[in-house]
Amino acid sequence: MQESSDIAYYFDVLKRRKYQFLIPAGAVFSLIFILAFVLSPVYKSTATILIEDQDIPQDLVQTTVTGFVEERLQAISQIVLSHGNLLNIIKEFELYPDLVGKYTTEEIIAKMREDIQLEPITAEVTNQYSGRPGTATVAFTLSYEGRSPQKVAQVANVLTSLYLKENLKEREEKATSTFEFLELQLAELRSEILELESNIALFKEEHVNELPELLIHNMNSMERLQRELDKVQEQIVSLKNRKVYLEGQRASIDPNLRIVANDGTRFPTAREDLEKLRREYLSLQSRYSSRHPDVLAMKRQIESLEKEVDAADNLDSINREIKNKEQELTVLRKKYSEKHPEVIMLRKQIDSLNESLEEAALQYSMFDSASDVPDNPGYIQIETQIASTELEIVEAERNYAELSNKYASYQRRVVNTPQVEQEYKVLMRDYENAQLKYQDINNRLLAAREAKGLEQSQLAERFTLIDPPIVPEKPIRPNRLALILVGFVLSLGVGASTGTILEFMDRSIRRPEELSAIVKYPVLAIVPYWETEIEARALVRRKWIMTIVFLSTVAVSVVAVHIFFMPIDVIAVKLVRKIVLNF
């Protein structure tokens, strides 16, 4: 009974507050309804672009354009959506006329960037190298929003063309720049290799006998020369010993022949006469005084013979010393130049000896002696052997000097070989590194040339337009029907809230229980409200007005839907089709 009373009470409140409910609800619904049809329609034209892999397998030809697709899309977007490109598009198609003059160019371009959307389309793929599953961008959509369907489609087509062209341009430029860079690197390496080859050739020319590959040859040559030096040294020692022996024999032989008379007696030589006179002089001194005429005459004869013999000995001694000095000079000239101090000093000594020889020869020529030219065959033979031995000694010493010079030269080569080898290894290492780098760059250049041809023939990864932008048939927003439904629900909420708030704020007594609670007495009877005839006619008039307003609103709504949203006949056909398909 209590529940029925509450329901009746609520119906009574609804009936009593119907205007407080309907007026706010109608106002809100009318406002949203008008707003739904006043808002400008926004159209969207979308292009779908497929990212195709290169036609030729990457195992055969690899492209030089690397990196993630998303990164390249962002880079292309920065170029396509640049200030200059967007400004040209705005001017070409006269976009945003309502914003021109009210906002700056930068703000209008920023608005256009907001109206352009690029959304990647991903797919689950398996990495061909690691075998792990992942996602990859296989395509992307490019959209543009605007108020004019024709301009939206035109701008979307222009943007799509820019993306396609910029992708081709970017890939070709990267392939070309890579190829040109590698060509420049290869040319620089070629020049570097030529310079290294020239340095190596010059180094070999400067150290032709000190190269590492000649070390064994140089050491073998040193051993051979050492053996030859030892052999020549032994030969020199043997020849000198022979000379000493021959000189000993020569000393025991008189250089002059003894003059023999017809009776077989031999005439004495000056030296023998000198010895004889010295013996006789001693005998005379024992018998006579030093002033005896015979003693003085004998003494004068002895002094004359001594001068003659001394002059001959002095002449022979000077000749032998000159020969020895000349041999020393010959050896020194093999080692040093004419301006060497030892050579100059030795030449001065020889000149001095020659002067002494001339004086000795002049002094010896004053004596009539038969001993100035040896005439003893045995003595002459010994002299010839000594001269031959001296020549052999000179030749052996010259040969020894030459071998010593050669040995020293080979020794310097062997000593310098480690340092030369180190420098040579540095040059060869640089040369080999340059060769390896040249080969590597050359291989890269060949790959870059193939990649460049791949890009120019458009056989590499490329953007393919699979769904071109078209003129949109209906706007994407506002969704007028949804907006009207939301407005209807919102108007009901506003009306209910307004009626409820007014009811709670009204302190009038509406039920017997409220009156009984106030006066503390029970209610005896309830007298109903009696309407007058004028009030009844006013009520009927208000009902007719409400009906006309409702029908007018419905008619205006139908016309608005037909004009701004979709023709009524099309809606009817779609509705019938859905009903048929459902049943």
User: DSSP of 516-527, one letter per residue?
Assistant: HHHHSS-----P
Q: Is the pLDDT of residue 128 over 80?
A: no
pLDDT confidence bin for 240, thresholds 50/70/90? confident
The pLDDT of residue 144 = 93
**Percent of the chain topping pLDDT 90:** 10
Starting from the edge strand earliest in sequence, which strands make up the sheet with 43-52, in order?
116-126, 133-146, 43-52, 462-467
More confident residue, 57 or 422: 422
CA 300 from centre of chain: 107
Residue type, 130: S
Give the distance between the most distant pair of CA atoms in the chain: 222
Say what the pLDDT of residue 154 is.
Answer: 93
**Which range has the worst mean pLDDT, 75-79, 121-125, 226-230, 448-452?**
448-452
Instruction: Find how far residue 72's CA is from the centre of its chain.
Output: 25
Instruction: Return mean pLDDT, the chain.
Output: 76
Is a pLDDT exceeding 50 seen at residue 372? no
Q: Pick 61 or 571 by higher pLDDT.
A: 571
**What are the helix and strand counts (H, E) for the chain?**
15, 6
Give the burial string for 135-160 (b: 16+ CB within 10 Å, else e). Answer: eebebbebbbbbeebebbbbbbbbbb
What pLDDT was estimated at residue 515?
Answer: 63
Among 2-6, 363-367, 491-495, the range with the most confident prediction by mean pLDDT is 491-495
Res 60 pLDDT > 50: no
Residue length of the chain: 583
Question: Which whole number is the average pLDDT over 165-188?
Answer: 81
As given in the structure block, the two tokens for residue 216 are: 């064994």
Span 330-355, average pLDDT: 73
Is pLDDT at 287 greater than 80 in this prediction?
Answer: no
Q: Cβ distance 543 to 22 under 8 Å?
A: no
Q: What confidence score (pLDDT) does residue 174 get?
A: 77
**What tokens appear for 420 in the block?**
């030369």
48 pairs with which residues across the strands? 141, 467
Confidence of residue 370 (pLDDT cuts 50, 70, 90): very low
Q: Are 456 and 65 in contact (CB under 8 A)?
A: no
What structural domains and CATH numbers belong to the chain? 3-39+478-581 (no CATH), 44-169+460-467 (3.30.1890), 220-407 (no CATH)
What number of CA atoms fall less than 13 Å from residue 291's CA on the CB side? 0
Residues in a beta bridge with 46: 143
Cα distance between residue 28 and residue 20, in whole Å: 13
- Contact call for residues 149 and 471 (beta carbons, < 8 A): yes
What pLDDT is stored for residue 1 in this prediction?
43
